[in-house]
Amino acid sequence: MKGSLLKRFKFLDEMGDIARFTGRFFREITKPRQEYEEFFRQCYWIGYKSLPLVGITALIMGLVLTIQSRPTLVEFGAESLLPSMVSVSLIREISPVITALICAGKIGSGMGAELGSMRVTEQIDAMDVSGTNPFKYLVVTRVAAATLMLPVLSNLSNAIALYGGYIGVNIRGHVSWYLYWTQVFNALSFGDAVPSLIKTFFFGFAIGIIGCYKGYNTKYGTEGVGRAANAAVVLSSLLVFIIDLIAVQISDLLNLT
């Protein structure tokens, strides 16, 4: 009983620490001077370096979804609806969430490990002593870059996944390029694309905050670095699903879907 209470208090204490960490991020990002050079460097590493993995996953995702959905639609004589169904499924839900999970694994763990290593080797303390603001240089730039680049990666993922759907449609049948994309865009609406785009900003922010928080507050030496990277992936992945659930409920209440 006592151990259960301690775990609950520890969980609540960590949630409070994350909230304070997030509040500090918003305070620091509004203060000059901004580290633009480091911000653009992080955009390159988070965005460009993640694109090959995201692109390959998106292509396979669109291809597999199309191939797996085709037999069911054929049974009901609705094979012509395949491009429309695949496009709505990918844009609304599958592509943004899968992209966020990939980034949680790659970016979140990378931030946790990198900042954790800097913490245990006292590089962050050295920056603080030398007069540099380590929080602004290390945390603000990474969180801002993740928030900005995840929507970009998600949009590219959407396009690549839809192209994978085109390949999948033509494996067992034949649909012209023009007809496929006409059906895709006719099936999509404002309520499909905009909520999907907006929630990716929150996905990126959550991944950046959790990855930086776990790395920045690493303890227990080199063993803590591995724990920080692992915890960053697990917690950020969980937050992606929670944010997605909240976004779906809000969209439903606003009749955007």
What share of the chain has pLDDT > 90, as a percent?
A: 59
CB atoms within 10 A of CB 60: 13
Q: Is residue 58 within 8 Å of residue 99, measured between CB atoms?
A: yes
Residue showing tokens 């995201």: 54
pLDDT in tens, 15-54: 888 999 999 999 999 888 888 999 999 999 999 999 999 9
> Do 55 and 157 meet the contact criterion of CB atoms below 8 Å apart?
yes
Q: What is the pTM (predicted TM-score) of this model?
A: 0.91
pLDDT digits 0-9 by tens, 122-151: 898 888 888 788 999 999 999 999 999 999
Give the angle subtended at the CA of 116 by the CAs of 112 and 122, to the nearest 5°: 155
pLDDT at 2 over 60: no
Q: How far is Cα 24 from Cα 101, in angstroms, rounded to an integer? A: 25
Q: Is the pLDDT of residue 80 over 90?
A: no
